[in-house]
Amino acid sequence: MKEFINFLSKHGYFSLYIISFFMIAQLIFVIRYSVDVPFLDQFEQVDLLKNPTWQNIFNQHNEHIYIFPKIFFLILAKITHWNIRVETFFNWLFLQCSAFLLWGILKKNVQKENAWMAAILMCFFLTPQYFDNLLCGFQNCFQINLLAAISAVYILSMIKESWLRLHLAVIAGIITTFSGANGVFLWVSLFPLVFIGNSSIGHMVYRRSRVLRIIYWIIVTVIVMKIYFWRYNAQMPYFPPLAYPGVYPKQFILYFFTCLGASFFPNTGCFDKFVYVHTVFGAILCLIFILGLIFGLFNVRKNIAKVCLIIFILLTVAAISLGRGNLNLANALSTRYRLYSILLPILMSGMLISGPGIKTRFGKPLLILLIAGMLIGIFTGWREGIREGRDWYARQQFNRKIMYSYQTATNSELERLHCCPDQTRETISVLKELKYSVFR
């Protein structure tokens, strides 16, 4: 094992080969298991296809205002006559772009001999355990949201100090905000990075203009928030009230920790029996993060970009817990949410390998435990992803037959596609009229 680690340390390109292998493996996974059939929320996009007005684009969907994903969907649907397999390819492409930028953030300030550890972190990120974010075309909203958020962090931490850098980060922040409700937290999360800057912290030119840049960031934040919450409906009948964390703190906290701890172990199908394993693991991750900051395991100044991204992830999971905390606790294990929660252990490990913590008495064994957990997570993530991918493929192939026979299909069959069978039947007829999806 030691010889293998020495080999990885001396041959940095080998890490790139490993990451490329996982990227290609994910692409094969998408090609093999994606099906050109809409599912659930995708049927609600058909109205946008029929009436592509700005009002429909700006309409609120649940707690989100999906402006950029809707524009992307319209363009792609018009070009391909709504080929969902093309959408899934872009899901994969957006994820690889996020991985590339994340790798750049992780490798910053990491010594050459420890760079191979960053490759393991990326391999953990590139498993198909969040299969529906790859195989469901509608989930490009999550992919665009995450890519834009990571891009904003990358721009602020890796590009030389300038006003252009700040403008680019603002653009990325706007795309994040209008691709998912959690984007509103990005502006607060990135404030430390805007205030401190990147590695050129002591540059006098930056110091003189720091106040102006902070004022600029605050003004843009206020404007974006004002636009986002203009005519925003915060009290939806099927979501808990905003005061839910105060009224039911136990349920909120349990959901929060379970969601954070969901990425290390596969779904077993016995949620009621094993769900608290994820809860405990999520709580441990949060405790490690807090203690690491307090006792100096993480070099916060050098790793400010990773800290800001962790703050964004924690606020995102808190928002998910607010919106879904009234559901069964097993819902916190939903694979689509792992696209965010998986970043917490990755970023914490990234701070350990790029800070003094890796050489400390507690930091080294902690890093070994995290790396070991991720190696197990790589195996379980692929095992679970392939199993779920097969199930998804079989279900969607059956749903394709239902779409072709929608006029004679029973309500229970149509409910496999969407919860409202009468509306689904009408929506499928619109697709047939437009010659979209399976009717091309």
* Tens-place pLDDT, residues 105-145: 887 767 666 677 778 888 888 888 888 888 888 888 889 99
* DSSP symbols for 47-69: HHHH---HHHHHS-BTTB--HHH
Q: How many whole angstroms from its chain centre is CA 346?
A: 13
Q: Which two tokens stand for residue 72?
A: 């992307």
For residue 371, name the pLDDT band (cuts at 50, 70, 90): confident
434 or 363, higher pLDDT? 434
Hey, is 338 helix, strand or coil? helix
17 or 89, higher pLDDT? 89
Phi, psi of 162, rounded to the nearest 5 degrees: -170, 165
- Count CB-CB contacts under 10 A for residue 136: 24
What is the structure's pLDDT at 93? Answer: 93
pTM over 0.75: yes
Tell me how far apart the alpha carbons of residues 87 and 76 are, in angstroms, rounded to a whole number.
8
Q: Which two tokens stand for residue 285?
A: 């991750």
Whether residue 437 contacts residue 36, with contact meaning beta carbons closer than 8 Å, is answered with yes
Tell me how far apart the alpha carbons of residues 13 and 10 are, in angstroms, rounded to a whole number.
9
Residue 200 has pLDDT above 70, yes or no: no
Longest Cα separation, the chain? 73
- % pLDDT > 90, the chain: 14
On the 0-12 / 13-18 / 19+ scale of CB atoms within 10 A, 110 is middle
> What average pLDDT score do residues 78-83 get?
87
Beta bridge partners of 61: 64
Which of 326, 341, 336 shows the shortest CA–CA distance to 278?
341
Hey, is 296 helix, strand or coil? coil
Phi-psi region of 82 (alpha: psi -120 to 50; beta: other; left: phi over 0): left
Whether residue 128 contacts residue 322, with contact meaning beta carbons closer than 8 Å, is answered with no
Q: Give, as one character, the DSSP assignment of residue 160.
A: P
Whether residue 49 contacts residue 82, with contact meaning beta carbons closer than 8 Å, is answered with yes
* Tens-place pLDDT, residues 221-265: 999 988 888 877 766 656 665 555 666 677 878 888 888 888 776
What is the structure's pLDDT at 236? Answer: 62
> What average pLDDT score do residues 315-344 get?
83
* Tens-place pLDDT, residues 396-431: 888 888 888 878 878 887 778 777 777 888 888 888
Chain-wide mean pLDDT for the chain?
A: 80
